[in-house]
Structure 1
Amino acid sequence: MFVVGGMVGAMIGGTIADKLGRKRGLILSQVMGLLGGIITAISKPLFSWEVLLVGRLLVGFTAGLNTVVAPLYLSEIAPVNLRGGIGVLNQLAVTSGIFLSQILGLSEILGNEAGWAWLLAITAFPPALQLILLMFCPRSPRYVYISLEQEDEARTELYKLRKDDDVVNSEIREMFEEKQAEKEPDMNLWDIIKSSKLRVALTIGIVMHLSQQLSGIVAIFYYVVTFFTDAGIETNQAKVS
């Protein structure tokens, strides 16, 4: 159910980001994650696997939605010279979360009969913290300027981030040029494939995604303990190998 929720969240993440905005999309995502964590936590005292499935579905939806909206929001509020680095830090945070969950899932910590519900309920804490932090975060200036066409509001939001009139004016000009570029005719898939200007970028993007999938990392995440136990290592040792 987590995977199903993640698939749905990722598929509609772009639409939600465009319809509600980046910040409101993140707020929606965190509310769903908070509800999912709470519902998961009460599944054990209720002795209900159906409640557990609903909670995991909502948590998966949050995870999928975050993979789309969070990087988009970060890239749009970051200054140009830090945009790439902040994108890398976002991915580092994701992998760090996976690593932490693996540690907490050890049978000696929470991955046991007494602690599994608490382990799954921990997912409610990051969304709760995120909701508090989002209260102090500005909206995406790019979204406000380009999608909503509200230049004054975009300047206000951008000034909260930059605190410099010259920088704000420079980035507003950049947004104007970006908005003008969006008025160019849309390209279909065949046009993109034929374009010599986009060929290198397209090739790099395809190769990177293929490399990630063909590396087998997803299978390793799911079956790494089984690999070690099949090799003759005891289960308790395999979990920390």
Structure 2
Amino acid sequence: MTIRVVIFLEFVQVQYWRLYLLAVVLGIGGSFQYGLQISFLTAPAKHIQNFVNETWLGRYGVAVGDSTNTLIWSFIVSVCSLGGWLGAIHSGSLPVKYGRKKALLINNVVAMVAALLMVLSPTAWSFEMILLGRFLYGYNIGLGLSVHLMYLGESSPKKLRGFLTLTSSIFIGLGKLMGQVVGIRELMGTEDMWPYLLALGGLPALVQFLSLLCFPEAPRYLYIDKGDKETCKKVLQWLWQEEDLKMELDDMEKERESVQGQAAKTVLDVLRSRAVRWQMLALSLPCAGVQFCGINALYFYAFDIFRESGVEEEQMHYLSLGIGSTELITVIICAFIIDRAGRKRLMGFGYLIMGVVMSLLIFMLSIKDMYTWVPYFNIALIFSVICVYGVGPCGVSMCLPADLFLQAWRPSAYVVSGTINWISLFIIGMTFPYLVDSLGQYCFLIFVTYCVFSAAFLLFFIPETKGKTMVEITEDFNKLNYKNRAKDSDKDDLALATKL
């Protein structure tokens, strides 16, 4: 028992307890908020729709039409994605102008305003306040997710970078689970409590706002962007509890020299420059894959399969807690193995296994009426895909912008990754109902194709990043970016990407 405790303490390295605490504080914000907002609307959906109908009746003297009610509800659900997109766009400018810490403090105020709108909407008899609140929550998530990963990635030693940045996925899973728990009928999923349920998103924002006041700015931002080496060193000593920081400071000095005199790159620079072309490919496929790997389709079909297995409708919500718990547990497992197994293997083999299991699920759904045991086997397949998703693609994709891009490129890389994620989510939300109506279970073939293609690309073309400095990772990608060109060409890009 003592040996196990010692091994665990050596793995988590308790000297970094302040850094772990920073990870918790950052996770409480945008990441936890994301999970909450995904699951919050499930339980009070009927109550919100009734409120919309009552408000319409009070204003115009007639009940709202079915098509109008559906349209308003669709906007309430989807407007969060639009806010998230806007927040992701601003994640490339606000953290550069004001710093990572101050950008998050401003962002928390946005979420608290959104919570206030939710509480006051029944009093004001205004469903428009719910729409605006959802938009502001989305903005808070879009900006908070990117800055969380940026802040933590720039504060972590390379040996813990994967573990710590994965806390974003852990808190997303925790937020989903907590949203499902508090939304049950026995707690806050009632007609009287739904405004307070929607307003709960302001609580993590308030906690993060107060907690962040006790933490310093990201050290890499202080040194590389602001040129303040002494403050950077003090911050690292405070966060890491280490005196010998020569290797880390030397690495920052090399990165700072490589971008000396150059402003932070814009999104157009990231999209057009040959210096980061393969980094963009390595970022884009997994970020889109979080939505296009079929996990949302799986959640949709899960409830139908549960019904076929004889689960009563009133018990369905509790099974969804099991799905949320499974995703959370597997993401936590991913956090402990990512720096040993490596990003490439977890993502590549994760997508491959998901594709294989979903192919089997398509077949089993086709014969579900032939044998009584098939629905139970399909439940096992659903939980298997969720486990693989949590251990691989879900968690690892969050680490990529911090791993793949140097300081000057990183803010815009987060804008690109956030944009891809939110647009993909919007596309899936708009098209998936039509895919299900026209293709049924065969809609999974689209997701299987994407998973297999992504797996092949990641396993055969993308270099591993675990245990490497930012400069070493850039050198590996330069072998792909400039494979057929002489190194003295395209000097502007090379000066940024390879100068040491």
TM-score bin (small chain): 0.7 to 0.9
Relative to structure 1, the CA distance from residue 51 to residue 190 in structure 2 (aligned partners, 3 Å threshold; closer, same or farther) is: closer
Q: Is there any run of 5+ residues in structure 2 with no aligned partner, and where?
A: 1-78, 263-268, 320-500
**Cross-structure match for 1:29:** 107
Structure 1 range deviating more: 44-53 or 201-210? 201-210
Higher normalized contact order (CA 8 Å, seq sep 6+, divided by chain length): 2
1:114 pairs with one of 192, 199, 207 = 192
Post-superposition offset of 1:184: 10
C-alpha distance in 2, partners of 1:190/1:75? 23
C-alpha distance in 1, partners of 2:176/2:89? 22
The alignment covers a number of residue pairs equal to: 234
**Cross-structure match for 1:171:** 248
Instruction: Give the conservation status (yes or no) of the 8 Å contact 2:145–2:168.
Output: no
2:94 aligned with 1:16: yes
Instruction: Give the conservation status (yes or no) of the 8 Å contact 1:9–1:64.
Output: yes
| Structure 2 counterpart of 1:237, one-letter code | Q
Instruction: Give the conservation status (yes or no) of the 8 Å contact 1:14–1:69.
Output: no
Post-superposition offset of 1:92: 0.8
What does the per-residue CA deviation read over 1:123-151, in whole Å, with 9 as the maximum and x for residues that have no partner? Answer: 11101110111011111111111111222
Structure 1 range deviating more: 169-178 or 181-190? 181-190
Post-superposition offset of 1:116: 0.8
Q: 1:165 aligns to what SS in structure 2?
A: coil
Relative to structure 1, the CA distance from residue 86 to residue 192 in structure 2 (aligned partners, 3 Å threshold; closer, same or farther) is: same
Q: 2:211 aligns to what SS in structure 1?
A: helix
Post-superposition offset of 1:103: 2.2
**Cross-structure match for 2:274:** 191
| Structure 2 counterpart of 1:76, one-letter code | E
Post-superposition offset of 1:39: 1.9
Post-superposition offset of 1:76: 1.0
| Structure 2 counterpart of 1:181, one-letter code | S
1:45-84 to structure 2, matched below 5 A, reads 45-84=123-162
Instruction: Give the conservation status (yes or no) of the 8 Å contact 1:225–1:239.
Output: no
| Structure 2 counterpart of 1:111, one-letter code | G
- Provide TM-score, normalisation by structure 1: 0.84
C-alpha distance in 2, partners of 1:155/1:35? 36
- Provide TM-score, normalisation by structure 2: 0.43
Post-superposition offset of 1:114: 1.4
Q: 1:239 aligns to what SS in structure 2?
A: helix
Q: 2:112 aligns to what SS in structure 1?
A: helix
2:121 aligned with 1:43: yes
C-alpha distance in 2, partners of 1:211/1:56? 25
C-alpha distance in 2, partners of 1:36/1:224? 32
C-alpha distance in 2, partners of 1:182/1:115? 53
Structure 1 range deviating more: 121-130 or 30-39? 30-39
2:316 aligned with 1:238: yes
Post-superposition offset of 1:70: 0.4
Alignment RMSD: 2.8
Q: 1:176 aligns to what SS in structure 2?
A: helix
What does the per-residue CA deviation read over 1:179-233, in whole Å, with 9 as the maximum and x for residues that have no partner? Answer: 122359977646258x7xx4xx666544433432322223455x46874698686
Q: 2:185 aligns to what SS in structure 1?
A: coil
Instruction: Give the conservation status (yes or no) of the 8 Å contact 2:118–2:133.
Output: yes
What does the per-residue CA deviation read over 1:150-189, in whole Å, with 9 as the maximum and x for residues that have no partner? Answer: 222222322321343322x332221111112235997764
Relative to structure 1, the CA distance from residue 220 to residue 86 in structure 2 (aligned partners, 3 Å threshold; closer, same or farther) is: same
Relative to structure 1, the CA distance from residue 22 to residue 217 in structure 2 (aligned partners, 3 Å threshold; closer, same or farther) is: same
Q: 2:189 aligns to what SS in structure 1?
A: coil
Relative to structure 1, the CA distance from residue 75 to residue 35 in structure 2 (aligned partners, 3 Å threshold; closer, same or farther) is: same
1:87 pairs with one of 165, 172, 189 = 165
Post-superposition offset of 1:54: 1.9
| Structure 2 counterpart of 1:191, one-letter code | R
C-alpha distance in 1, partners of 2:286/2:213? 36
Instruction: Give the conservation status (yes or no) of the 8 Å contact 1:138–1:160.
Output: no
C-alpha distance in 1, partners of 2:106/2:191? 32
Relative to structure 1, the CA distance from residue 234 to residue 7 in structure 2 (aligned partners, 3 Å threshold; closer, same or farther) is: farther
Post-superposition offset of 1:86: 0.5
Structure 1 range deviating more: 100-109 or 74-83? 100-109
Post-superposition offset of 1:99: 1.8
**Cross-structure match for 1:125:** 203
Relative to structure 1, the CA distance from residue 115 to residue 227 in structure 2 (aligned partners, 3 Å threshold; closer, same or farther) is: farther
Relative to structure 1, the CA distance from residue 62 to residue 187 in structure 2 (aligned partners, 3 Å threshold; closer, same or farther) is: closer
Post-superposition offset of 1:3: 1.9
| Structure 2 counterpart of 1:179, one-letter code | R
- Please say which structure displays the higher CA radius of gyration: 2
**Cross-structure match for 2:257:** 180
